[in-house]
Amino acid sequence: MDISALRQIAQQEQIRQKPVRINCCTASGCASSGSGAVKKNLETAIKAGCHDELIEVGSVGCMGFCGRGPLVIVEASERQLHRQLYANVTPEAATSLVKAIASIRLIPLIPPIPQPHHHTWSK
């Protein structure tokens, strides 16, 4: 595989990625704290809220804070949402997290219709 093939793969991956990615640690420390249920609730909340085009969930390995698991990190391609790490995430909090992320997105699902400008001229 040469560098041009690797660049093409990278470009395709960037196009495929959704604006927001929620990574849930599924390493043994977080798994023993219930990260499987957290990840499942994240996925369920995304589907239930019709946020499939905006948010995706992934699994990652150990993030190094095993005593504070389950850990979830939110990453976004937009500057509107900064990279954020959440510790001790419960399955119930996972649903709230998805709702909060979806509510702060500034990209409208339907673009606003431009309004014509009306000028009044004074004599």
Domain membership flag for residue 110: no
Q: Are the beta carbons of 10 and 65 closer than 8 angstroms?
A: no
Statement: residue 107 has pLDDT above 50: no
Question: pTM, whole model, 2 decimals?
Answer: 0.72
**pLDDT (mean) for 11-17:** 78
Domain membership flag for residue 10: no
**pLDDT (mean) for 32-55:** 92
Q: Tell me which residue range forms the domain holding 64.
A: 18-104
Domain membership flag for residue 90: yes
CATH of residue 64? 3.40.30.10
Domain membership flag for residue 13: no
Q: Domain count of the chain? A: 1
